[in-house]
Amino acid sequence: MATRKAHLFLAQVLVFSVSLPLAAVQSGRYDEAEFGPVVRAYLGYLRNEQEVVDDRVSRREVSSGYYRRNSNRIKALRQMAIRLARETHNDYLPELEAVAADEFGLLFERPRPASSFKVGEIVKNTFRFLGTIRSTETFYLFARLDPYEQAELAEKSTSRLKTDPAPPEVGPKALSRSRRVVP
124-138 tens-digit pLDDT: 889 999 999 998 999
Please give the backbone phi and psi of residue 59, each rounded to the nearest 5 degrees, phi first: -90, 0
Which CA distances in Å does 107 have to 24, 50, 71, 112? 32, 22, 20, 11
Q: Is pLDDT above 80 for 57?
A: yes
Which CA distances in Å does 36 have to 26, 134, 144? 21, 26, 21
Range scoring the smallest mean pLDDT among 57-61, 83-87, 92-96, 169-173? 169-173
Write out pLDDT tens, residues 151-164. 888 888 777 666 65
Mean pLDDT calculated for residue range 22-42: 74
Q: What is the pLDDT of residue 101?
A: 93
Q: What is the pLDDT of residue 163?
A: 62
Q: Is 30 left (phi over 0), alpha (psi -120 to 50) or beta?
A: beta
Question: What average pLDDT is seen over the chain?
Answer: 79
Q: What is the pLDDT of residue 180?
A: 40
Q: Is pLDDT above 80 for 85?
A: yes
Q: Are 30 and 78 in contact (CB under 8 A)?
A: no
Q: What is the pLDDT of residue 120?
A: 94
Confidence class for position 71, pLDDT limits 50, 70, 90: very high
Q: What is the pLDDT of residue 96?
A: 97
Mean pLDDT calculated for residue range 168-181: 41
